[in-house]
Amino acid sequence: MELGTVNCVVFIMSKQTAYQARLPDSSGYIEYPQNEHEIWQALYDRQQGNLGQFACDAYLNGLADLSLPRDRIPQLSEIDQVLHAATGWKTAGVPALISFEKFFQLLANKEFPVATFIRSKEEFDYLQEPDIFHEIFGHCPLLTNDSFARFSHQYGKLGLAASKEERVFLARLYWFTVEFGLIRNRQNELKIYGGGILSSPGETLYAMSDAPLIKPFDLVDILRTPYRIDIMQPVYYAIESIDYLDEIVKMDIMAAVTKARELGLHAPLFEPKSKAS
């Protein structure tokens, strides 16, 4: 999570959380109180103005296909109807915290984990766990895109077969693509496809500013790049188009993991957490 904005944690290994997922009834319906619908609406309205200018076309097309309600938290079944028709995916309601194993297992089965809770007003701008707004608003629109869906599926299969040590490196690939990925097209225009940015007004404006370092996609370079979850990202990686995710799928990702492990990590572009303000 970047400090002071809305973001996510890709993999949660801690077992402590202040949030509890809301469980569906026998028909799959999840009841949310009105104050939580109001939080959804406030988050939606706050980010809506940034999307037309900064989000990539594939995301905007998916957002239109999903037709997300502005004034209420959508039911997962509503999202599933659109995703399944588009790419064969669906959502999977999960608790606030899930393991590496569960995360990869779901993706390998074309199920995208969605934590069925929404942040409190007290944590409107800073959240340790990925909530339903982040997962649905940030990620689900792109799961209507074939290239993004194929990449997510292959990533899940690779992670499921990987060792514990390899998964740590794979987490960086997910972080710098699905969560914080950018697109720099042939016209040199910069657009966002990473859900961690798209669900965060603060990080959206920061990523589009002159502050961060933006590097072209390089698989081994990404796998060697450390990151922190509680700050604005000092570096992002940009692909040429959303279709480039198909090219990444064709790469020998696990061979790149082996090479990255041999070379070791780059020096971080941030202070250690204990020294950072």
Mean pLDDT, residues 207-222 taken together: 97
Identify each DSSP E strand in the chain by its residue range: 90-94, 111-115, 182-184, 190-192, 213-216, 235-239
Q: Is residue 98's pLDDT more than 70?
A: yes
Q: How high is the pLDDT of residue 128?
A: 65
Q: Residue 201 — very low, low, confident or very high, per pLDDT cuts 50/70/90?
A: confident
User: And the tokens for 49?
Assistant: 């103005």
Q: Which of 2, 36, 129, 139 is catalytic?
A: 139
Mean pLDDT, residues 52-61 taken together: 96
Give 4 or 181, the one with higher predicted confidence. Answer: 181
Mean pLDDT score across all residues of the chain: 91
Residue 37 annotated among the catalytic residues of the structure: no
Q: Which of 134, 147, 203, 241 is catalytic?
A: 134
Q: How high is the pLDDT of residue 96?
A: 76
Give 28 or 14, the one with higher predicted confidence. Answer: 28
Q: Which of 179, 200, 203, 241 is catalytic?
A: 179
Of all residues in the chain, what percent carry a pLDDT higher than 70?
91
Residue 101 annotated among the catalytic residues of the structure: no
Of all residues in the chain, what percent carry a pLDDT higher than 90?
77
Q: Is residue 2's pLDDT more than 70?
A: no
Q: Residue 209, exposed/middle/buried by CB under 10 A (0-12, 13-18, 19+)?
A: exposed
DSSP-derived letter for residue 94 is E
Q: How high is the pLDDT of residue 126?
A: 60
Q: Which of 152, 199, 200, 241 is catalytic?
A: 199
Mean pLDDT, residues 153-181 taken together: 97
Half-sphere exposure of 73 (CA within 13 A, CB side): 25
Mean pLDDT, residues 197-211 taken together: 92
Q: How high is the pLDDT of residue 16?
A: 64
Would you put residue 6 in left (φ > 0), alpha (ψ -120 to 50) or beta? beta
